[in-house]
Structure 1
């Protein structure tokens, strides 16, 4: 079967939609009639909101020393205390992952002179998943008290986004169907059937990490954390066959 597609714009009313006409020649011997189908290609988005139930946070420790060995040793001692504080706050081993380990030489610069080595700096970062948001503020405070001097930010999420995504999918299908019916009426057609449906992906919305600064160790008030809500979005595309 040979298929020829012809597409064209129908003015401002049909902006964002595509209507195409497909002509197919029957393969049966002696057939002479031509079949003409009009299709409508559309995209839509469904969205829902959900309260997050988990968070990811980045923590780090920096130490300096006159030698590389001394800087690494001091850093390791401080990070060991930070990890112990995390575990005491109820964070499981599987939810703590080293994300960065660096050792850099430090130099002093003076005009007209060669750089002078002054020591070494060691940094160690971990990515922590907190599955009980009620413990998030206390966990951050505990790690800072144990020696963490970097708190890179908090990103909220869902441990199982399936239910929220399915709600967004249903909303996307309803939006797609409504849009198809509108375009069909506007062009003098009616919907014959849904030919194809595809999903473009999902996202929890453009939500940047919440910045956090390292708190003083003497701080007694627990760091407040407001998780808010996540925007769960699903994008779909569909092809409808139209008829008069």
Structure 2
């Protein structure tokens, strides 16, 4: 009897390998910071993108040019101020006396051809007047015993009266009557005469001439800039303008007061008035 052969296989199972990952605190903090930075970058980029999309996508490019123009014209009106100053103890007396004098002055001006529309009141001022009495103090300056001198302003103020100032501005269209109007106004009670100056009553025509010159200069400047820079100029989108008139005042020194028989009236010349115009043109650039 044969002996049965048995084969035994022994399988050894290796013990399972365990891998342990250990992160210290500094590594965790580093990763958290990286995450926060990435988050901030994402949100910041989103905000910039939102702002960019909020802007007009086709913002027009523009160029502005300016020009100046001058035009000259002979003035057609003369302007002069007449004033009456009155002092009185009572306010009503000052008003009555001043109005009476000014009415006389205005009547004399009208009698020489000036119409109501060319006379305008520009000042009417009633002011109380005060005195500040001094107090006499002893003084030893060799003047003898009992000498004194006043110290002004050390006492209470005292009302002494009222001062009324009234002024009218007169537009004179007939230059030949300027001297006569000034003479009559002062003779009838005008206590002061303001500066005399000439101007243009309706300056629209001369302003248009100055404006046309200013626009032409601005366009010429635009063409030169476009040629030098290679820009392509589009349509005009805006225009602004301004004006300056330069009336030349003639100070009325020597006009005020009464004239004697030997006085000689000054020679008055209106000359020319300069009108300046400035324009600014805004064009699109293609």
TM bin (shorter chain)? 0.7 to 0.9
TM-align CA RMSD: 2.3
The answer to whether the Cα contact below 8 Å between 2:248 and 2:273 also exists between their aligned partners in 1 is no
Q: Summarize the Cα distance change of 1:131–1:199 in structure 2 as closer, same or farther, 3 Å threshold.
A: farther
Counterpart in the other structure of 2:176: 134
1-structure distance, mates of 2:111, 2:164: 25
Mark the runs of 5 or more structure 1 residues left unpaired by the alignment: 6-21, 23-37
Match of residue 101, structure 1, among 118, 124, 136: 124
1-structure distance, mates of 2:218, 2:183: 47
More helix by percentage? 2
Deviation at 1:171, TM superposition (A): 0.3
2-structure distance, mates of 1:87, 1:53: 19
Q: Summarize the Cα distance change of 1:120–1:89 in structure 2 as closer, same or farther, 3 Å threshold.
A: same
Counterpart in the other structure of 2:280: 237
Deviation at 1:212, TM superposition (A): 2.2
Matching of residue 40 in structure 1 with residue 63 in structure 2: yes
Q: TM-score, normalised by structure 2?
A: 0.66
State the secondary structure of the residue aligned to 2:101.
helix
**Residue by residue, what CA displacement relative to the aligned partner does 1:55-83 show, whole Å, maximum 9, x if unpaired?**
22221101112222222222122112101
More strand by percentage? 1
Deviation at 1:241, TM superposition (A): 4.2
Deviation at 1:242, TM superposition (A): 4.9
| 4+ long deviations beyond 6 Å | none
When Rg is computed on C-alpha atoms for both structures, the one with the higher figure is 2
State the secondary structure of the residue aligned to 1:164.
helix
1-structure distance, mates of 2:248, 2:259: 29
2-structure distance, mates of 1:67, 1:2: 72
Aligned residue pairs total: 210
Q: TM-score, normalised by structure 1?
A: 0.76
The answer to whether the Cα contact below 8 Å between 1:138 and 1:223 also exists between their aligned partners in 2 is no
**Residue by residue, what CA displacement relative to the aligned partner does 1:121-172 show, whole Å, maximum 9, x if unpaired?**
2221112111222322321222111110122223422122122111111101
1-structure distance, mates of 2:77, 2:234: 42
